[in-house]
Structure formats: structure tokens, C-alpha cells
């Protein structure tokens, strides 16, 4: 029987034939694709022809076409809809894919050709985009160890393989802990919870085959439970289970894995001549050095901590008024903060959610993209990779732009968090290839699904990433879409969040799911007034995580990461009732791969830019100003990695921003 992963996909938009693909198809498809890629790479490296951009870089861009196709399907499914077979294959593939990557980037013949082109780059008549692609290829090979030989080269390859195995294990352990923990809730234990939390708990119970409502570790369920449950004992149980992910002992414990990952990263950096992994990792980023990262984070830490301590005193007083003596604990913060918000601003999440149905917010998200960039969205029929997934064809002026897939509901087979990925990336080399872009979230299922304001921000955030992929307009896949510096990649996503709170967007789309009535102006005013509420807490839990990440990678790798985490937090004066957003054993950003390692700061680095970028629309007097939107598309969304990020941002805005816009946006400026 023909393997559907290896045939031409002739259906609408050349989508993968999801209904025909079985788990057992993936392993043989990877074998064939890897064999084809190895042959193509060998042909490039061993050709007797003198190196040219066409026979080396262009050829490399197309050498792994089959592997890209198979990987694009598999890794999307493995993260969003895991099965035991997919998890087993992930473990098997991790060292194989790492070994293949090392074979390519440490291929002496291939590197010699790239070196020759790099040395002659000024004489090759390259376009600016080609010059950038050559620069990044040369950088990638050097940073991957292409200049190493002998024992050092062998050790580098072994380190990469081991890191791939460890990162896969870390992710799967975390998924197992999240999937396996749940607590049944009696009718008595539901008392005091808003209807939307109760409905989410009942849906979670149904999804798990339980007899009644359950509490799970899905953020969209556990956070509102911590906000609204009057049962302090249950809040403590829930919170401690949530923060214990990856640290429960036994087969899924991630602490030893984290220590080994950090040690191997340090060794990898040392082999390449860097004094620390942070120095290695930050060299190609906008921040450049650990010192620059620390400076940004500490400028924000001081006012945020001061605000959080003031807020903690108020919440403690509220708790004491309830007759609970002693210290405010981490499982108390959200509950009393929600009560305080309701008292000070006269509204709570329960008032807001009926106006923020998933359908309404999808409409707001698409309408905003239409007004800014002229995009139109037409829902299309599946089947896709899971019954929950929905699809849209994206067009502009009648021309096909992309296929967009949305996978929005939590389930046991999906890893936590939210993300955007490309099942197929945009390029023009060889053919005009249009992308297939996937947004994945973990909202609580409901009829209808009602979002919190934070959920709605997440929806807009991930769609900002999707726009970066869909509007990409470059020749080379290597620099398309989100293939940019890590501390630049969050700019489009965080910028897009701003449009959620634009008054005319809320007025048009935030409509009651049952009556269709617009969100009352008074409620919108309360939402706006509370926009920076509890930002001391939010900023402290984030910056603490970023500073721990930096400390892990800035010097010698700690033998005991948990001890270092505790020391960093003690040195910072971490408020006792706030914990890191991501403790080490479940810090997937940092340990499930290299993406955000020594780079968790990047959300804040990008926030400096996104605050300033939205100010460009405000200065134009129109959040949908056509000229500003056109510049945003040209220099940020369409450009991918075709230029250095500071060059792209300056082209859009005229200058690089300072931290003041970020502090103002978080309501912390006056405390500096």
C-alpha cells in the first residue's frame, strides 16, 4: 500500500490527507525522507563543480523537501494530539534527527563550499536577501560546530544527540503529569464557583470519562478555580499539584534531566569557545550579551517587586478580615486578588466571559486582520488531524494566501500552553509555496466556549504569530515567517494583542453569546480601568522565571538546579506569596528544546518594541491607520529574517525604543 505521507497531496490547497495517515506510516516515511535528504546533501557536498550560490545554497534549501513535509505533519500531531505510538516514535526520532543535523552542519565538504562563498561574498552579485541567507547559513554552520574536528567534532555530535533525547523525555514527562492528575469535585466543592468554571469542570470530567466534574491541571480550568474557589484547602491541593508537575518523583521526574541538560549545554558552548551557554546563545540575538538581558530585567524587577509587595499587604489584610490568620500563600493570591478587583473596579471575570465567546473573539481576530491587511477568511471543511480542529482559507484580493488551522480546546493528548507552528512554510524558490499555519490553545470546552480576557489575549497572541507566517513574502524558506531572532519573534504576537482592547473592536465583537447585545460601555470602561491591575504579580512571576533561566546558563552549570533556583529567588527578595511562572521541573520553554533556553527574557525584550510599535498607530490617530499597517507588513510581517531585526524595526519605526513604553503599559512607570 502506498504511504500517504510520501505521495503528492492533490486535495484542496495540497493539505496533508489526514484521514488516510496512520501512526504506522510515519516511521517508514521518515526513513525514506532521511535517505533522500542524505543523498541530496552528499550530491551538493561532493559535486566537482566550483561552489556557487545556486549549486550550494539554493540546492541546500531544496534538499530536505520530503523531510520537511513529513516532519511538518508529524511534529504538529505529536504536540497537539499525542498517542502512545507517536510518543514512542518521538523518543526514537530524537537522536536520529539530531544525528542527521550534525551530519549536515559538520560535513567538511559542505562547509568548505559555504566558506568559499562567504569569503567571496562581495564578488557574487547577490541580492540583499541572498546575502542575508548566506550570512545566516555560514553562521549556523559555524555555531553548529562545522569548524571542529576529531574528538571535539565527535563529542559535539554526541552532545546534540543526548540533548535531543533529554528534551524529548522532559516534554513527555510533563505531558504525562498534566494528563494523569485530576481530582473529582463533589457538588459541595463546587459551591461558590461561577457557572463557567463548573461547566468547564463538568466538560473536563466528561473528556476523562469521570462520573462527574473534575479539576485538572489545564491552565484554563485551574486558574479560574484558584480565582474563585472559597475553599482554601482545595486551592492549596490544586495549586501544589499544578506547581509540582515534573517534580513528583518516579519515572516522570524532570529534575535530574534538567541538571544534565544544563551541563551538556555548557560543554557545547565551551567546545565552540564561549565561556557560557548564555554567551553562545545570545550572540546572534538582539540582546547580544547576558549583561544586556540582566540590565533590562532588573530595570523592570525593582518597580514590579515594589508594586507586588504593596499589593500583598492589601491581600493579606483581606484574608485576615476573613478570619484567616498567618501569611498570604501562593494559593491565596489569585482568590483575594479577584475579590479585590471586584471590589475596586466593580467587575469580575464572570461578568466579562459571556461577551468573550470563542466565536465572537475569532470574529474580532479575523476582522482586525481584514482591516489592517485586507485578509479574508473562509471556513473550509476537514477532515483535519482532530475533530476539534477548524480550518480557514485565507485570501486577499481573491488570491490564495494561506490555510489557517485552529485547534483551541484542551484535551489529555495535547501538551499544555499555546503555540503557533507552520505545517508548511512560505517560500518562492522552486515554486510559489503558500503556508499551512496552525494555532494551538488549551481553552476549556463549553457550549459555547467562553474565554477569559487572558484567554482572548492568548488567542490574539498566537494569531499574531500566524500573521507573521501567512504574510511572509521571501524567496527562501530559511528566513520565512517566524525564522527570526528569538527576542524579535514575539513582536508580532504581542503587538497583535493590543487590538483586542481597541474600543471599536470590543464594541463590534464583544457581544453576549445568548442575547447578542454588545458589551455595555460601563463594563468596557471597567475593563480598561483595570487593564494594569495586578501587574506587579504578573511581572514578578515572569521576570523571576527569566532571571532563573539566565542564571542557569550564565555561568557554570549547577549540579543542583533546584538549589540554584532557590538561591536566585532568595537573592532577588522574591515575595513569599508569588512563585515563578515556570519552576524548573516544568519549565518547558527552557528544557523541552533550545528555543527559549537563555532566552525566556525575549518576551519582555519584544514587549519593549510592541508597546512602542502600537504607539505608532496611536500617534497616527487611528488603530487601523493604513499607512502604518502597510509599514508594519512590509518591514516586520512580510520580511521574515531577510534583514537584521534592529534594521527591520528601525525601518518600521524610525528608531529603537526605550523601556519606558513597556513600564507605562504595565502601569509601573511611576514607580521608577
**384 in any annotated domain:** yes
Residue 670 has what pLDDT?
58
Average pLDDT of span 49-76 = 97
Question: In CATH, what number is assigned to the domain containing residue 495?
Answer: 1.10.1370.40
Report how far apart the first and last C-alpha atoms of the chain are (Å, whole number). 67
**624 in any annotated domain:** no
Helix (H) or strand (E) holding 423: strand 419-424
In sign, the C-alpha dihedral spanning 143, 146, 150, 156 is: positive
Question: Looking at the structure, do residues 376 and 506 belong to the same domain, yes or no?
Answer: yes
| Dist. CA 305–CA 561, nearest whole Å | 23
What confidence category does residue 447 fall into, taking pLDDT thresholds of 50, 70 and 90? confident
What confidence category does residue 672 fall into, taking pLDDT thresholds of 50, 70 and 90? very low
Question: In CATH, what number is assigned to the domain containing residue 343?
Answer: 1.10.1370.10
Percent of the chain with pLDDT over 90: 95
What confidence category does residue 632 fall into, taking pLDDT thresholds of 50, 70 and 90? very high
Average pLDDT of span 284-289 = 96
Q: Bridge-partner residues for 437, per DSSP?
A: 404, 422
* Helices 486-497, 645-653: crossing angle, 10 deg rounding: 30
Question: Looking at the structure, do residues 380 and 450 belong to the same domain, yes or no?
Answer: yes
**Long-range pairs for 60-65 at CB < 8 Å and ≥24 separation?**
60/110, 60/137, 61/427, 61/429, 61/430, 61/476, 61/477, 61/478, 62/429, 62/430, 63/37, 64/33, 64/37, 64/40
| Dist. CA 37–CA 32, nearest whole Å | 9
What confidence category does residue 661 fall into, taking pLDDT thresholds of 50, 70 and 90? confident
Q: Bridge-partner residues for 422, per DSSP?
A: 437
Residue 671 has what pLDDT?
43
Report how far apart, in Å, the C-alpha atoms of 268 and of each of 148, 553, 601 are. 12, 12, 21
* Helices 84-105, 65-80: crossing angle, 10 deg rounding: 140
Question: Looking at the structure, do residues 225 and 277 belong to the same domain, yes or no?
Answer: no
Question: Looking at the structure, do residues 583 and 566 belong to the same domain, yes or no?
Answer: yes
In the sheet that 390-396 helps form, which strands lie side by side, from edge to edge?
376-380, 390-396, 399-409, 436-443, 419-424
Residue 307 belongs to domain spanning? 251-347+534-600
φ, ψ of residue 375 to 5 degrees: the values are -80, 145
Among candidate residues 92, 126, 143, the one where a domain is terminated: 143
416: which residues sit within 8 A by CB, 6+ positions away? 174, 175, 178, 217, 218, 219, 442, 588
Question: Looking at the structure, do residues 360 and 479 belong to the same domain, yes or no?
Answer: yes
What confidence category does residue 349 fall into, taking pLDDT thresholds of 50, 70 and 90? confident
What would the grid cell of residue 250 be? Answer: 518516579
What would the grid cell of residue 7 be? Answer: 505521495
Helix (H) or strand (E) holding 608: helix 602-620
Among candidate residues 554, 584, 600, the one where a domain is terminated: 600
Query: pLDDT (tens digit, 9 = 90+) per residue, 564-616?
Result: 999 999 999 999 999 999 999 999 999 999 989 999 999 999 999 999 999 99
3-state secondary structure of 433: strand
Query: pLDDT (tens digit, 9 = 90+) per residue, 142-186?
Result: 999 999 999 999 999 999 999 999 999 999 999 999 999 999 999
**622 in any annotated domain:** no
pTM score above 0.85: yes
3-state secondary structure 171-211: HHHHHHHHHHCEEECCCHHHCCCCHHHHHHHHHHHHHCCCC
**416 in any annotated domain:** yes
Residue 193 pLDDT more than 50? yes
- How many distinct structural domains can be found in the chain? 4
Question: Looking at the structure, do residues 384 and 469 belong to the same domain, yes or no?
Answer: yes
Question: Looking at the structure, do residues 266 and 330 belong to the same domain, yes or no?
Answer: yes
Question: Looking at the structure, do residues 17 and 121 belong to the same domain, yes or no?
Answer: yes
Average pLDDT of span 500-517 = 96
Question: In CATH, what number is assigned to the domain containing residue 64?
Answer: 1.20.1050.40
Question: Looking at the structure, do residues 238 and 297 belong to the same domain, yes or no?
Answer: no
Q: Which residues are catalytic?
A: 462
Q: State yes or no: cis peptide before 383, omega within 30 of 0.
A: yes
**DSSP state for residue 446 in the 8-state scheme:** -
Query: CB–CB of 77/86 below 8 Å?
Result: yes
What confidence category does residue 229 fall into, taking pLDDT thresholds of 50, 70 and 90? very high
| Dist. CA 567–CA 89, nearest whole Å | 38
Residue 347 pLDDT more than 90? no
Query: CB–CB of 319/566 below 8 Å?
Result: no
**656 in any annotated domain:** no
**190 in any annotated domain:** yes
Helix (H) or strand (E) holding 380: strand 376-380
**DSSP state for residue 437 in the 8-state scheme:** E
What would the grid cell of residue 90 be? Answer: 518521538
What confidence category does residue 446 fall into, taking pLDDT thresholds of 50, 70 and 90? confident
Among candidate residues 545, 569, 600, the one where a domain is terminated: 600
Report how far apart, in Å, the C-alpha atoms of 79 and of each of 71, 171, 461, 587, 664 are. 12, 9, 19, 16, 36
Mean residue pLDDT of the chain comes to 96
Question: Looking at the structure, do residues 416 and 358 belong to the same domain, yes or no?
Answer: yes
**58 in any annotated domain:** yes
10 Å Cβ neighbour count for 209?
Answer: 7
Average pLDDT of span 529-533 = 92
Q: State yes or no: cis peptide before 210, omega within 30 of 0.
A: no
| Residues constituting the chain | 672
Question: Looking at the structure, do residues 445 and 364 belong to the same domain, yes or no?
Answer: yes
Question: Looking at the structure, do residues 443 and 553 belong to the same domain, yes or no?
Answer: no
Average pLDDT of span 125-141 = 98
10 Å Cβ neighbour count for 314?
Answer: 14
**623 in any annotated domain:** no
Distance of CA 413 to the CA centre of its chain: 18
Nearest to 186 by CA among 201, 165, 204, 167: 201
110: which residues sit within 8 A by CB, 6+ positions away? 41, 44, 45, 56, 60, 104, 141
* Helices 290-321, 602-620: crossing angle, 10 deg rounding: 80
Amino acid at each position: 500500500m502506498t504511504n500517504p505521507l510520501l505521495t503528492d497531496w492533490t486535495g484542496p490547497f495540497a493539505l496533508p490527507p489526514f484521514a488516510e495517515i496512520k501512526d504506522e506510516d510515519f516511521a517508514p516515511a521518515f526513513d525514506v525522507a532521511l535517505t533522500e535528504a542524505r543523498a541530496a546533501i552528499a550530491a551538493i557536498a561532493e559535486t566537482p563543480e566550483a561552489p556557487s550560490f545556486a549549486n550550494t545554497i539554493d540546492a541546500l534549501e531544496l534538499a530536505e523537501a520530503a523531510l520537511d513535509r513529513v516532519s511538518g505533519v508529524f511534529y504538529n500531531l505529536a504536540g497537539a494530539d499525542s498517542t502512545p505510538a507517536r510518543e514512542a516514535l518521538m523518543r526514537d526520532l530524537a537522536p536520529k534527527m539530531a544525528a542527521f543535523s550534525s551530519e549536515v552542519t559538520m560535513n567538511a565538504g559542505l562547509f568548505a563550499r559555504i566558506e568559499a562563498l562567504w569569503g567571496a561574498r562581495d564578488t557574487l552579485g547577490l541580492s540583499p536577501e541572498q546575502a542575508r541567507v548566506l550570512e545566516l547559513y555560514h553562521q549556523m554552520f559555524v555555531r553548529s560546530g562545522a569548524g571542529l574536528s576529531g574528538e571535539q567534532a565527535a563529542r559535539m555530535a554526541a552532545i546534540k544527540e543526548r540533548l535531543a533525547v533529554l528534551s524529548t523525555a522532559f516534554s513527555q514527562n510533563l505531558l504525562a503529569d498534566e494528563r494523569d492528575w485530576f481530582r473529582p469535585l463533589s457538588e459541595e466543592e463546587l459551591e461558590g464557583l461561577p457557572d463557567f468554571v463548573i461547566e468547564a469542570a463538568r466538560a473536563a470530567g466528561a473528556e476523562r470519562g469521570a462520573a462527574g466534574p473534575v479539576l485538572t491541571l489545564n491552565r484554563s480550568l485551574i486558574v479560574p478555580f484558584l480565582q474563585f474557589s472559597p475553599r482554601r484547602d482545595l486551592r492549596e491541593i490544586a495549586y501544589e499539584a499544578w506547581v509540582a508537575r515534573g517534580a513528583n518523583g518516579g519515572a516522570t521526574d524532570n529534575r535530574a534531566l534538567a541538571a544534565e541538560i544544563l551541563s551538556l549545554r555548557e560543554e557545547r558552548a565551551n567546545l565552540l569557545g564561549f565561556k557560557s551557554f548564555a554567551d553562545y546563545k545570545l550572540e546572534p540575538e538582539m540582546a547580544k550579551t547576558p549583561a544586556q538581558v540582566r540590565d533590562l530585567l532588573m530595570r523592570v524587577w525593582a518597580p514590579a517587586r515594589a508594586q507586588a509587595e504593596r499589593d500583598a499587604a492589601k491581600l493579606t489584610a483581606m484574608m485576615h478580615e476573613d478570619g484567616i490568620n498567618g501569611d498570604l500563600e501562593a494559593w491565596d493570591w489569585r482568590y483575594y486578588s479577584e475579590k479585590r478587583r471586584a471590589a475596586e473596579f466593580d467587575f469580575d471575570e464572570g461578568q466579562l466571559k459571556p461577551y468573550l465567546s470563542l466565536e465572537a473573539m475569532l470574529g474580532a481576530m479575523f476582522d482586525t486582520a481584514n482591516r489592517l491587511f485586507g485578509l479574508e477568511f473562509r471556513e473550509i471543511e476537514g477532515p483535519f488531524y482532530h475533530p476539534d480542529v477548524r480550518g480557514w482559507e485565507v485570501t486577499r484580493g481573491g488570491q490564495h494566501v494561506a490555510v489557517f488551522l485552529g485547534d483551541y480546546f484542551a484535551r489529555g493528548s495535547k501538551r499544555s500552553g499555546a503555540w503557533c507552528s507552520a505545517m508548511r512554510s512560505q517560500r518562492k524558490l522552486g515554486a510559489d509555496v503558500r503556508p499551512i499555519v496552525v494555532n494551538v490553545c488549551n481553552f476549556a470546552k463549553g457550549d459555547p466556549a467562553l474565554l477569559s480576557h487572558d484567554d482572548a489575549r492568548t488567542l490574539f497572541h498566537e494569531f499574531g504569530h500566524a500573521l507573521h507566517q501567512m504574510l511572509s513574502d521571501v524567496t527562501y524558506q530559511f528566513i520565512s515567517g517566524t525564522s527570526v531572532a528569538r527576542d524579535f519573534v514575539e513582536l508580532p504576537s504581542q503587538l497583535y494583542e493590543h487590538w483586542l482592547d481597541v474600543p471599536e473592536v470590543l464594541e463590534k465583537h464583544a457581544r453576549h453569546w445568548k442575547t447578542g447585545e454588545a458589551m455595555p460601555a460601563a463594563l468596557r470602561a471597567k475593563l480598561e480601568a483595570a487593564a494594569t491591575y495586578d501587574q506587579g504579580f504578573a511581572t514578578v512571576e515572569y521576570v523571576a522565571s527569566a532571571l532563573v533561566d539566565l542564571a542557569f546558563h550564565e555561568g557554570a552549570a549547577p549540579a543542583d538546579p533546584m538549589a540554584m533556583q532557590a538561591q536566585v529567588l532568595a537573592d532577588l527578595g522574591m515575595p513569599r506569596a508569588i512563585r515563578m511562572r515556570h519552576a524548573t521541573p516544568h519549565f518547558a520553554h527552557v528544557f523541552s528544546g533550545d528555543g527559549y533556553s537563555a532566552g525566556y527574557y525575549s518576551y519582555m525584550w519584544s514587549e519593549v518594541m510592541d508597546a512602542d510599535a502600537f504607539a505608532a498607530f496611536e500617534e497616527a490617530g487611528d488603530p487601523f491607520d493604513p499607512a502604518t499597517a502597510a509599514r508594519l507588513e512590509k518591514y516586520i510581517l512580510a520580511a521574515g529574517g531577510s534583514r537584521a531585526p534592529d534594521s527591520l524595526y528601525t525601518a518600521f519605526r524610525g528608531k529603537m525604543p526605550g523601556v519606558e513604553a513597556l513600564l507605562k503599559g504595565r502601569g509601573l512607570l511611576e514607580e521608577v
